[in-house]
Structure 1
Amino acid sequence: MNKPTQTAGQALVRLLANYGVETVFGIPGVHTLELYRGLPGSGIRHVLTRHEQGAGFMADGYARVSGKPGVCFVITGPGVTNAATAIGQAYADSIPMLVISSVNHTASLGKGWGCLHETQDQRAMTAPITAFSAVALRGDDLPELIARAWAVFDSERPRPVHISVPLDVLAAPVSRDWSDEVVRRPGRGQPCRDILDQAAVKLAAAKRPMIIAGGGALHAAEQLQQLSTRLAAPLFTSVAGKGLLPVDAPLNAGASLCVEPGWQLISQADVVLAVGTEMADTDFWRERLPISGELLRVDIDPRKFNDFYPCAIALHGDARQTLAGLLEHLPALDRDPAQASEAVANLRQAIRSGHAPLQAVHQAILDRIAAVLPDDAFISSDMTQLAYTGNYAFASRAPRSWLHPTGYGTLGYGLPAGIGGMFASDHRPGLVLVGDGGFLYTAQELATAVEELDRPLVVLLWNNDALGQIRDDMLGLDIEPVGVLPRNPDFIGLARAFGCAVRQPRDLDALQADLASGFATPGVTFIELKHTCVC
């Protein structure tokens, strides 16, 4: 008996399963039905989001916590444009994401016939915010395009990929079964021996070496710790690299390059080794770091070597393999870490004692969080003042434990990204830090969280009844505040309507107790903390 013929949509889903995809985020629509035909029996879990932007952010959060590509399914036209903000965020922060969408029938493309969800050139809309955007004009194009996507994820700077499939191609029978044609050829490697030798000589001769590590070094924590110890070098991270050293490591300078004490310390380095970081002003909160020493850069993206921070030595390759090579090439060193450790201790003290009044309030909240946060929990944060302080003042206990929309800086990220992160493991609890303004961008995703999650996800809403950062920026520029004091809804009533357990603490002691209760309660706990309770 002949095996029933698969459509390209069915075969594509099974191909994704063979690449190891376990979860997809999306909303079924009339233009993606053939993809959904393929889901039953594929082993892939589908998570119903309430907006395509939420699907993209959830895929982003899944990728950041798991280290694997996040995948979402969206419809033609408005599905793609709704997801575009999330795609842009993933592009800016180098997050591997695969967006599969439909597009109108092949015969109609570019014709302007007025078909449902029609756009003039859907591929062109996502091309600037993806590693590549392509249209599969035949079913047999799909295995090649998926292999190309995984080549980006495995071998290049990881960024989103968008593949559009016309409706007629999705529904057509495949000419052959290519659903098991998996091609994985990771090819990052490390620089040549001569370059490693040159870098090792520079580092060995340095009197005050320092390291900056970013999201591209998340898989190289062990090598970074060894290198920092051998060189007696303070290790700074970007926000994306938080948690690369243990919290109590004497040389852990944290993500402090965005505040004055961090700037002062890095200015003393005679050699700086930057690993897997684009060294963006969105991490440093200033146009340029005061680096006066020689800069060595390790990066998978060769375009970074001569951009805003040209380097003396370029080490093109995978962070973990390159650092392992550096460790092999370094001569034996007898470094006393006392001076560097003291400098880092002074840095930490300067940060805590130097808070302005608002940041001191944030620090008090963050301390209560740290007191009860489970060791294996992750935090997903939105563009809110509490998270801005947390970016440098909260010590993450492990890599992939602090999610923040650094580069693109979009509001509405925190909640859906946190939900996505919950699907990246079967045990990690999550905490979402979100402001009242940003929460309303994606509040509907509480429905997905309540429907899908049986592990603790705590949503902490910091309600200052304002678009606080923009209000403060206006006041700082002597602009009369306009549009920054919205009328907020009853957040507790809203969260209760979605089915969350709700809390509204009146002080920091109550906040700590409510957080502890939330982390002990399966499902979603929503906590509204009003600024009037702690200011």
Structure 2
Amino acid sequence: MPDFQPQIPSGREFHGGDLLAQTLKHLGVEVAFGLHGGHLDAFLLGADEIGIKLVDTRHETVAIQAAEGYAKVSGKVGCCFVTANSGFANGLAGLATAFADRSPIFCITSSPPLQDAETNALQGFHDQVVVAKPITKFCHRVTNVEEIPRIVAYAFRSANSGIKGPVLIDFPIDVLFTPPQVSRISYGAVSVPPAYAAAPDPAALDALIKAWNKAKRPVIITGTGARGTDKELTKLAETTRTPVFYSNKFSSPIPPNHELRGGAATRLAAFAGGNSQPDFVLLFAARTGFLLGDRSGAIIPNKNCTLAQVDLDGSEIGKSLPVEIGIVSDVGLFCDALLEKKSNISVARNEDWIRDCKDHKGTLSAYVDQGKVMSDGQLHPYLAHDAVMRALPKDSIVMIDGGEAGQWSGMTVEAAEPKVAMVATGYLGHLGNGWGYSLGAAVADPSRLVVNMHGDGSAGFHIQELDTFARFGLNILTIIANNYVWGMSVNGQDLLYEGKSKSRPAIQLSKQCKYEIVAQGFNCDGEIVTEYDKIKPTVARMSKSGKPGLINLIVSTKPTTPATMSMVGMTDDKNVIVVPYYNNVPRPFYKDSTEKTNGHA
């Protein structure tokens, strides 16, 4: 007999919704994010009575993103609920992001009664399982109330085992409102302990140590999968004398002031093109792709460098770059196993390399010489962001959203010495995620300030969640770097069309929009800051208020961030086609200096 036994409520009938809520509670769910729908009432009532905290948002996408943010910060499965079809459709953006970023979330939805299939019933047009399957790790419709615990436990383990990701279960409304026959309940794996994680092959470790020992400029680059390896990774870095950088999706577990913390991996681009690039790179639960410079060689060198990769997903190893040593393993077990062989590790300490990595991280950059105020009278975006970061409480959680605003935040976030910093846009480049991520993070860790960084573009996606922040009394400070335009868009167009066209279509935002007044209307603190000397005192004061707040920080559109210039990839080479934000491609014909094409004048 399993140790999970249903609790029959007194004074009312026991429903499928109770069985769902009690199963989730037994599996460790403490909070669920969502938006009300009558289809879900049986579950919501059961969840409330069993002690699951319900955090209701103003939009379903944010509910799913909040579950994702909660999962990233807590290390647990994030739980969310969206109502049938309309709510489900609104939540698809959140599911897509969670799937691309491998976030373990459990999404509950509902649908019309089974008997009403294909009758044009209320909120019953789309087959939600069919729609969600391509962007979930597991998706299923429960048709028998007694099978709820078995299916829920299976989905829960699927979300949080191996390659993590979102799962979605559709509970038709009649299933949720149907009383189960207790003697027929199928428990499945409800009380089965988690499976043991995968450990590395000893022969692979020997090969890795041999290559590592030869390195003069080694680096470790961590990804989201490194979450929770603070002690293990720090000890590994110290044993191998290797600086640690991080993919900007999730900051490094290495302590902020540690001599081996190198900051964001994008900073390695400063070494590109010379003889000082890394000669050994270990991707530590980090995926290759645009967040690590694609195949350009700017971050991960494409020559004279040994590339090793540790990941639970064997198919990810060598996906876009030639990996010489691939190891399929849980990263915590990898650290433990490698350290057991520490007597074989003899990586020479390179003082110059360690200093270069550390100095590079701490440099304020050439922007200091450009002045705090630009020619348009607005604040320098880099220096304004730097001032914000230096005024924040240490060990805050910083969520970074937006295009160029997000890039300025990413370049300066190390000055905040954050407990966690992550770029919320992820692999989809999905603007607006920061609202949900911040909500989930604040619920997961109410002891810290959560900083919700935005541009005025990304801020507009879900600014109504300020109401949610206020209703639940969450310690979240939203900062909007406001330059009245879609910054990356206008600066990208400037690079592409300078001297060719004066048109800058579809990039203007409103100078009349008072975000600080919007915040006040949602019962949050709100202030506008236009002067550099007002940044630090305003941030410091609002960080300590204990009430959600918003700062409307007015900044200039210039200069363009280095990342935008790099991604647009402008060149005078007549033989390539500039493809903004991707690698340029060769022209399908050769064009020489005499304008001959394909051999013809």
- If the length of structure 2 is used for normalisation, what is the TM-score? 0.82
Is 1:338 aligned with 2:351?
yes
Change over 3 Å in CA distance of 1:210–1:58 after alignment to 2: same
Alpha carbons of structure 1 residues 381 and 3: separation in structure 2 relative to 1, 3 Å:
closer
Identical pairs, percent: 24
Q: 1:481 aligns with which of 504, 522, 533?
A: 504
Corresponding letter in the other structure for 2:412 = A
Give the structure 1 partner of residue 515 of structure 2: 491
Distance 1:97 1:350 in 2: 38
Counterpart of 2:422?
402
Q: Deviations over 1:100-127 (max 9, x none)?
A: 1002222344x2x211112332112221
Where in structure 2 are the equivalents of 1:316-335 lying within 5 Å? Answer: 316-330=328-342, 331-333=344-346, 335=348
Q: CA–CA distance in 1 between the matches of 2:410 and 2:180?
A: 49
- Find the aligned partners of 2:438 and 2:105 in 1 and give their Cα distance: 16
State the secondary structure of the residue aligned to 2:245.
strand
Alignment of 1:367 with 2:386, yes or no, is yes
Q: Matched residues in 2 for 1:376 and 1:444: separation?
A: 27
1:221 CA displacement: 2.5
Q: What is the CA–CA distance in structure 1 between the aligned matches of 2:537 and 2:114, rounded to whole Å?
A: 58
User: In structure 2, do the counterparts of structure 1 residues 265 and 143 end up closer, same or farther at CA, with 3 Å as the change threshold?
Assistant: farther
User: Root-mean-square deviation (CA), in Å?
Assistant: 2.7
Bigger shift: residues 444-453 or 329-338: 329-338
Q: 1:185 to 1:439 in 2, by over 3 A?
A: same
Cα distance, 1:90 vs. partner? 1.5
Higher deviation after alignment, 294-303 or 361-370? 361-370
- 1:518 corresponds to 2:542: yes
Q: Which amino acid aligns with 2:320?
A: F
The match for 1:434 among 432, 435, 454 is: 454
CA shift, 1:355, in A, is 8.5
Offset of 1:407 from its aligned partner?
0.9
How far off is 1:285 after superposition? 6.6
Q: Quick one: distance in 2 between partners of 1:246 and 1:284? A: 25
Counterpart check, 1:17 vs 2:40: no
Partner residue in 2 for 1:102:
110
Aligned partners of 1:286 and 1:138: how far apart in 2?
49
Whether 1:290 and 2:301 are equivalent positions in the alignment is yes
Range that drifts further, 186-195 or 95-104 = 186-195
Query: Taking structure 1 as reference, are residues 507 and 320 closer, same or farther at Cα in structure 2, changes over 3 Å only?
Result: same
Give the match's secondary structure for 1:41. Answer: helix
Distance 1:24 1:233 in 2: 40
2:31 aligned with 1:31: no
Asked whether 1:212 is paired with 2:231, we answer no
Match of 1:503 in 2: 527
1:185-232 alpha-carbon deviations (Å, 9 max, x no partner): 233231222222222222223333221111111222322222222222
Cα distance in 2 for residues equivalent to 1:363 and 1:186: 46
Query: Where do 1:39-54 residues align within 5 Å?
Result: 39-54=47-62
CA, structure 1 residues 89+3, in 2 after alignment: closer, same or farther (shift >3 Å)? closer
Give the aligned length. 531
State which drifts further: 161-170 or 307-316.
Answer: 307-316
Q: Given that residues 143 and 175 in structure 2 are in contact (C-alpha distance below 8 angstroms), is that contact kept between their aligned partners in structure 1?
A: yes
Q: Residues 351, 315 of structure 1: CA spacing in aligned structure 2 closer, same or farther, 3 A cutoff?
A: farther
Q: Which stretch shows the higher mean deviation, 334-343 or 171-180?
A: 171-180
1:244-255 matches, within 5 Å, as 244-255=253-264
Structure 1 residues 69, 3: closer, same or farther in 2, change over 3 A? closer
Shift of residue 255, structure 1, vs aligned partner: 1.0
SS, match of residue 461 in structure 2? coil
2:410 to 377, 388, 391: 391
SS at match of 1:226: helix
Write the letter of the residue equivalent to 1:397: E
1:508 CA drift (Å): 2.0
CA shift in 2, pair 1:287/1:168, >3 Å: farther
Letter in 2 for 1:49: T
| Aligned residues of 1:456 and 1:518 also touching (Cα < 8 A) | no
Q: 1:199 to 1:533 in 2, by over 3 A?
A: closer
Deviations 1:277-309 (A, max 9, x none): 112213437655423222211101111123112
SS of equivalent residue, structure 2 residue 308: strand
- Aligned counterpart, 1:378: 397
How far apart, in 1, do the equivalents of 2:130 and 2:496 lie?
38
- Secondary structure, in 3 states, of the residue corresponding to 1:15? helix
Equivalent pair of 2:140/2:168 in contact (CA under 8 Å): yes
Gaps in structure 1 of 5+ consecutive residues? none
User: Does the alignment pair 1:7 with 2:15?
Assistant: yes
State the Cα distance separating 1:51 from its structure 2 match. 1.0
Partners of 2:402 and 2:558 in 1: how far apart? 20
**Cα distance, 1:503–1:183 mapped onto 2, change above 3 Å:** same
Contact 2:379 2:554 in 1 (8 A): no
Within the candidate set 232, 247, 250, 2:241 is matched to: 232
CA contact (8 A) 2:221 2:265 kept: no
Determine whether 1:80 maps to 2:80: no
Tell me what 1:417 maps to: 437
Verify the 8 A CA contact 2:406 2:453 in the aligned structure 1: yes
Which one of the candidate residues 427, 437, 456 is aligned to 2:475? Answer: 456
* 1:377–1:265 Cα change, 3 Å: farther
Q: Which has the larger radius of gyration?
A: 2
Q: CA deviation at 1:85?
A: 0.7
With structure 1 as the length reference, what TM-score do the two structures score?
0.92
Determine if contact 1:246/1:398 at 8 Å carries over to the other structure. no
Task: Report the CA distance between 1:24 and its aligned residue.
Answer: 0.7
Does 1:166 pair with 2:172? Answer: yes
* CA distance in structure 2 between the partners assigned to 1:354 and 1:503 by the alignment: 26
Q: Which residue of 2 aligns with 1:130?
A: 136
1:404-432 alpha-carbon deviations (Å, 9 max, x no partner)? 22211112112232122110023111111
8 Å contact from structure 2 (residues 205, 338) kept in 1 = yes
Task: Quote the Cα distance in structure 2 between the aligned partners of 1:448 and 1:525.
Answer: 12
Q: Deviations over 1:55-94 (max 9, x none)?
A: 1121122112212121111011111111111111112222
Deviation at 1:36, TM superposition (A): 1.4
Cα deviation 1:22-51 (Å, max 9, x = unaligned): 111111112111111212321111111111
Q: 1:73 to 1:278 in 2, by over 3 A?
A: same
